[in-house]
Amino acid sequence: MLRRILGFVVSPSFGQRSPALGRSRGLAAVVIVAMAALVAILIAVPISDLRRPYLVIIVYPLDGQSNIRVQHWTRGLAASLEREHYRVETCGYAISGPAARAAAIVKLKRRISIVSSGGRDSVVLVGWSTGAWLAYRAADEGAPVDGIVGIAGLYDLAGSRHPWVRRGLGDIPDNRYSIGHKQPSPHLPRIVMIQARDDRFVPLAQAQSACDSLRLYGHSAQLIILPTDRHGPMDPESLVMFRSALIEAL
Protein backbone atom coordinates (compact mmCIF):
# COMPACT_ATOMS: atom_id res chain seq x y z
CA MET A 1 0.00 0.00 0.00
CA LEU A 2 2.82 2.39 0.89
CA ARG A 3 4.41 1.67 -2.49
CA ARG A 4 1.17 2.63 -4.26
CA ILE A 5 0.94 5.87 -2.28
CA LEU A 6 4.55 6.72 -3.10
CA GLY A 7 3.96 6.03 -6.78
CA PHE A 8 0.89 8.20 -6.67
CA VAL A 9 2.76 11.12 -5.09
CA VAL A 10 5.91 11.04 -7.22
CA SER A 11 4.06 10.58 -10.50
CA PRO A 12 5.26 13.10 -13.15
CA SER A 13 1.68 14.32 -13.56
CA PHE A 14 1.30 14.87 -9.77
CA GLY A 15 -1.31 17.61 -9.26
CA GLN A 16 -1.60 18.49 -12.98
CA ARG A 17 -4.82 16.77 -14.02
CA SER A 18 -7.25 18.54 -11.69
CA PRO A 19 -7.24 20.57 -8.50
CA ALA A 20 -9.13 17.78 -6.73
CA LEU A 21 -6.52 15.22 -7.75
CA GLY A 22 -3.78 17.55 -6.61
CA ARG A 23 -5.39 17.94 -3.24
CA SER A 24 -5.67 14.15 -2.87
CA ARG A 25 -2.01 13.69 -3.68
CA GLY A 26 -1.09 16.51 -1.31
CA LEU A 27 -2.98 14.72 1.45
CA ALA A 28 -1.14 11.50 0.63
CA ALA A 29 2.16 13.34 0.94
CA VAL A 30 1.17 14.60 4.40
CA VAL A 31 0.29 11.05 5.48
CA ILE A 32 3.69 9.78 4.32
CA VAL A 33 5.52 12.50 6.22
CA ALA A 34 3.51 11.75 9.38
CA MET A 35 4.18 8.02 9.09
CA ALA A 36 7.90 8.65 8.59
CA ALA A 37 7.99 10.89 11.66
CA LEU A 38 6.23 8.25 13.77
CA VAL A 39 8.65 5.54 12.65
CA ALA A 40 11.60 7.82 13.47
CA ILE A 41 10.25 8.42 16.99
CA LEU A 42 9.70 4.71 17.64
CA ILE A 43 13.23 3.92 16.47
CA ALA A 44 14.83 6.69 18.50
CA VAL A 45 12.94 6.14 21.79
CA PRO A 46 13.33 2.79 23.58
CA ILE A 47 10.09 1.14 24.65
CA SER A 48 11.13 1.45 28.31
CA ASP A 49 11.13 5.24 27.95
CA LEU A 50 7.47 5.18 26.94
CA ARG A 51 6.58 3.72 30.33
CA ARG A 52 5.65 5.71 33.42
CA PRO A 53 8.68 7.30 35.11
CA TYR A 54 8.45 5.21 38.27
CA LEU A 55 10.10 2.04 39.44
CA VAL A 56 7.72 0.59 42.02
CA ILE A 57 9.23 -1.74 44.62
CA ILE A 58 6.58 -3.71 46.52
CA VAL A 59 7.84 -4.75 49.95
CA TYR A 60 5.80 -7.50 51.58
CA PRO A 61 6.08 -9.56 54.79
CA LEU A 62 7.37 -13.10 55.13
CA ASP A 63 5.93 -14.41 58.36
CA GLY A 64 5.96 -18.11 57.59
CA GLN A 65 2.18 -18.61 57.86
CA SER A 66 0.43 -16.67 55.12
CA ASN A 67 3.60 -16.66 53.03
CA ILE A 68 2.21 -18.35 49.91
CA ARG A 69 -1.03 -16.36 49.92
CA VAL A 70 0.75 -13.03 50.41
CA GLN A 71 3.20 -13.78 47.60
CA HIS A 72 0.33 -14.77 45.30
CA TRP A 73 -1.57 -11.52 45.80
CA THR A 74 1.65 -9.49 45.69
CA ARG A 75 2.27 -10.92 42.23
CA GLY A 76 -1.32 -10.02 41.30
CA LEU A 77 -0.81 -6.43 42.44
CA ALA A 78 2.51 -6.22 40.57
CA ALA A 79 0.94 -7.57 37.37
CA SER A 80 -1.89 -5.04 37.55
CA LEU A 81 0.64 -2.19 37.87
CA GLU A 82 2.68 -3.53 34.96
CA ARG A 83 -0.45 -3.39 32.81
CA GLU A 84 -0.50 0.31 33.63
CA HIS A 85 3.09 0.51 32.30
CA TYR A 86 4.87 0.80 35.64
CA ARG A 87 8.12 -1.02 36.16
CA VAL A 88 7.67 -3.23 39.22
CA GLU A 89 9.91 -5.27 41.47
CA THR A 90 8.85 -7.28 44.51
CA CYS A 91 10.81 -8.30 47.59
CA GLY A 92 9.79 -10.03 50.80
CA TYR A 93 11.47 -9.84 54.19
CA ALA A 94 10.93 -11.47 57.56
CA ILE A 95 11.13 -9.13 60.54
CA SER A 96 10.63 -11.65 63.32
CA GLY A 97 12.88 -10.35 66.08
CA PRO A 98 15.31 -7.42 66.43
CA ALA A 99 18.13 -9.05 64.43
CA ALA A 100 15.84 -9.90 61.52
CA ARG A 101 14.41 -6.36 61.49
CA ALA A 102 17.87 -4.79 61.40
CA ALA A 103 18.99 -7.17 58.64
CA ALA A 104 15.83 -6.51 56.60
CA ILE A 105 16.43 -2.74 56.66
CA VAL A 106 20.02 -3.21 55.48
CA LYS A 107 18.98 -5.61 52.70
CA LEU A 108 16.19 -3.34 51.47
CA LYS A 109 18.47 -0.28 51.41
CA ARG A 110 21.04 -2.28 49.44
CA ARG A 111 18.37 -3.42 46.99
CA ILE A 112 17.17 0.15 46.47
CA SER A 113 20.72 1.37 45.86
CA ILE A 114 21.25 -1.31 43.21
CA VAL A 115 18.04 -0.71 41.26
CA SER A 116 18.32 3.08 41.44
CA SER A 117 21.99 3.23 40.41
CA GLY A 118 21.06 3.89 36.76
CA GLY A 119 19.32 7.11 37.76
CA ARG A 120 16.65 6.87 35.03
CA ASP A 121 13.59 6.28 37.18
CA SER A 122 12.02 7.67 40.31
CA VAL A 123 11.74 4.93 42.93
CA VAL A 124 8.57 4.50 44.97
CA LEU A 125 8.40 2.00 47.82
CA VAL A 126 5.05 0.29 48.30
CA GLY A 127 4.97 -1.47 51.64
CA TRP A 128 2.28 -3.98 52.49
CA SER A 129 1.52 -4.68 56.18
CA THR A 130 4.84 -4.79 58.06
CA GLY A 131 6.41 -3.97 54.69
CA ALA A 132 5.06 -0.41 55.15
CA TRP A 133 7.01 -0.04 58.38
CA LEU A 134 10.10 -1.48 56.69
CA ALA A 135 9.75 0.89 53.71
CA TYR A 136 9.46 3.84 56.08
CA ARG A 137 12.53 2.83 58.07
CA ALA A 138 14.65 2.33 54.94
CA ALA A 139 13.68 5.78 53.64
CA ASP A 140 14.17 7.38 57.05
CA GLU A 141 17.68 5.95 57.14
CA GLY A 142 18.62 7.51 53.82
CA ALA A 143 17.54 5.09 51.09
CA PRO A 144 17.23 7.09 47.82
CA VAL A 145 13.48 6.89 47.22
CA ASP A 146 11.03 9.48 45.90
CA GLY A 147 7.92 8.32 47.69
CA ILE A 148 6.40 5.77 50.06
CA VAL A 149 2.96 4.18 49.85
CA GLY A 150 1.75 2.01 52.72
CA ILE A 151 -0.94 -0.59 52.07
CA ALA A 152 -2.69 -1.86 55.21
CA GLY A 153 0.46 -0.78 57.00
CA LEU A 154 1.67 -1.50 60.50
CA TYR A 155 3.19 1.73 61.76
CA ASP A 156 3.34 0.93 65.48
CA LEU A 157 4.88 -2.49 65.96
CA ALA A 158 4.92 -2.07 69.73
CA GLY A 159 1.19 -1.32 69.79
CA SER A 160 0.10 -4.16 67.52
CA ARG A 161 -1.78 -6.67 69.69
CA HIS A 162 -3.40 -9.04 67.21
CA PRO A 163 -2.11 -12.64 67.68
CA TRP A 164 -1.41 -13.00 63.94
CA VAL A 165 0.73 -9.85 64.03
CA ARG A 166 2.50 -11.00 67.17
CA ARG A 167 3.44 -14.34 65.60
CA GLY A 168 4.89 -12.50 62.62
CA LEU A 169 6.93 -10.11 64.76
CA GLY A 170 8.25 -12.86 67.00
CA ASP A 171 8.65 -10.59 70.02
CA ILE A 172 7.22 -7.49 71.62
CA PRO A 173 9.10 -4.50 70.17
CA ASP A 174 9.50 -1.31 72.15
CA ASN A 175 8.40 2.11 70.93
CA ARG A 176 11.58 2.58 68.89
CA TYR A 177 9.69 0.61 66.25
CA SER A 178 6.79 3.08 66.07
CA ILE A 179 6.56 5.76 63.40
CA GLY A 180 6.38 9.13 65.10
CA HIS A 181 8.32 8.24 68.25
CA LYS A 182 11.09 10.55 67.03
CA GLN A 183 11.52 13.27 64.46
CA PRO A 184 11.91 11.75 60.99
CA SER A 185 14.77 12.51 58.65
CA PRO A 186 14.39 15.89 56.91
CA HIS A 187 14.88 14.03 53.63
CA LEU A 188 11.92 11.70 54.18
CA PRO A 189 9.82 11.72 50.97
CA ARG A 190 6.06 12.08 50.68
CA ILE A 191 4.15 9.19 52.23
CA VAL A 192 0.64 7.99 51.44
CA MET A 193 -1.12 5.49 53.70
CA ILE A 194 -3.90 3.37 52.20
CA GLN A 195 -5.84 1.75 55.01
CA ALA A 196 -9.04 -0.27 55.33
CA ARG A 197 -11.63 1.35 57.55
CA ASP A 198 -12.30 -1.95 59.34
CA ASP A 199 -8.96 -3.77 58.93
CA ARG A 200 -9.15 -7.13 60.70
CA PHE A 201 -5.57 -7.01 61.99
CA VAL A 202 -4.50 -3.37 62.28
CA PRO A 203 -6.77 -0.66 63.69
CA LEU A 204 -7.28 2.40 61.52
CA ALA A 205 -6.22 4.57 64.46
CA GLN A 206 -2.64 3.35 63.98
CA ALA A 207 -2.37 4.89 60.50
CA GLN A 208 -4.21 8.02 61.65
CA SER A 209 -1.74 8.52 64.51
CA ALA A 210 1.28 7.95 62.26
CA CYS A 211 -0.06 10.37 59.66
CA ASP A 212 -0.75 13.04 62.31
CA SER A 213 2.74 12.62 63.79
CA LEU A 214 4.45 13.06 60.43
CA ARG A 215 2.41 16.19 59.70
CA LEU A 216 3.34 17.66 63.08
CA TYR A 217 6.98 17.27 62.09
CA GLY A 218 6.27 19.12 58.83
CA HIS A 219 6.29 16.16 56.47
CA SER A 220 3.87 15.45 53.64
CA ALA A 221 1.55 12.61 54.69
CA GLN A 222 -1.81 11.54 53.29
CA LEU A 223 -4.28 8.93 54.53
CA ILE A 224 -6.67 7.18 52.13
CA ILE A 225 -9.40 5.16 53.87
CA LEU A 226 -11.10 2.34 51.97
CA PRO A 227 -14.55 0.92 52.82
CA THR A 228 -13.44 -2.65 53.50
CA ASP A 229 -12.14 -4.91 56.27
CA ARG A 230 -9.39 -6.51 54.17
CA HIS A 231 -5.80 -6.37 55.33
CA GLY A 232 -4.54 -5.50 51.87
CA PRO A 233 -5.27 -7.00 48.42
CA MET A 234 -6.11 -10.52 49.61
CA ASP A 235 -8.88 -11.36 47.14
CA PRO A 236 -10.03 -10.18 43.68
CA GLU A 237 -12.40 -7.52 45.04
CA SER A 238 -9.90 -5.98 47.46
CA LEU A 239 -7.15 -6.22 44.84
CA VAL A 240 -9.14 -3.91 42.55
CA MET A 241 -9.87 -1.54 45.42
CA PHE A 242 -6.29 -1.27 46.72
CA ARG A 243 -4.87 -1.16 43.19
CA SER A 244 -7.07 1.81 42.25
CA ALA A 245 -6.08 3.68 45.40
CA LEU A 246 -2.42 2.86 44.80
CA ILE A 247 -2.46 4.18 41.24
CA GLU A 248 -4.16 7.33 42.51
CA ALA A 249 -1.41 7.72 45.10
CA LEU A 250 1.34 7.23 42.53
CATH of the domain at 210: 3.40.50.1820
Specify whether 35 is located in the same domain as 73: no
Q: Which of 2-6, 23-27, 85-89 has the highest mean pLDDT?
A: 85-89
Whether residues 16 and 85 fall in one domain: no
Q: Rounded mean pLDDT of 45-58?
A: 62
Are the C-beta atoms of residues 130 and 164 closer than 8 Å to each other? no
Same domain? For 98 and 150 the reply is yes
User: Within this chain, do residues 112 and 31 fall inside the same structural domain, yes or no?
Assistant: no
pLDDT digits (tens, 9 = 90+) for 53-97: 678 899 988 765 567 788 888 999 999 999 988 889 999 888 888
Give me the domain span that covers residue 12: 2-44
Q: Tens digit of pLDDT for each residue in 215-243?
A: 998 999 999 999 999 999 989 999 999 99
Inter-CA distances, 100 with 55, 138, 157, 168, Å: 26, 14, 14, 11
Give pTM, 2 decimals.
Answer: 0.75
Phi, psi of 150 (to 5 degrees): -100, 135
CB atoms within 10 A of CB 151: 30
Q: Residue 15 burial by CB count (10 A; 0-12/13-18/19+): exposed, middle or buried? A: middle
Question: 2-11, 22-31, 95-104: which has the minimum mean pLDDT?
Answer: 2-11
Single-letter amino acid code for the residue at 137: R
pLDDT for 35 beyond 80: no
